[in-house]
Amino acid sequence: MHHTREELTEALRQVESTIAKLEKVVIALAESARAQRTLAVRRLAAFRIAAELIRLELEEDRQ
């Protein structure tokens, strides 16, 4: 599936925004809220992977 550069750029902006929010959530969650913290940490990892894949796609599009 091919996306335009504009679509990828907007998607990256949204993913990076979500990463910033999740980082705050992870910091705010106490160790007593283990399940929620674990879920947030896993989501954060997934969003970081998504951001990296989008960046790679944008780089390939440049070449």
58's tokens: 């944008």
Give the predicted TM-score (pTM) of the model.
0.88
Q: What percent of the chain has pLDDT over 70?
A: 98
pLDDT above 70 for 1: no
Residue type present at position 62: R
pLDDT value of residue 2: 86
Strands (E), the chain: none
Task: Tell me the angle at which helices 5-28 and 34-62 cross, rounded to the nearest 10 degrees.
Answer: 160
Which of 18-27, 28-37, 52-61 has the lowest average pLDDT? 28-37
6's tokens: 């504009």
- Structural contact between residues 25 and 40, judged by C-beta atoms closer than 8 angstroms: yes
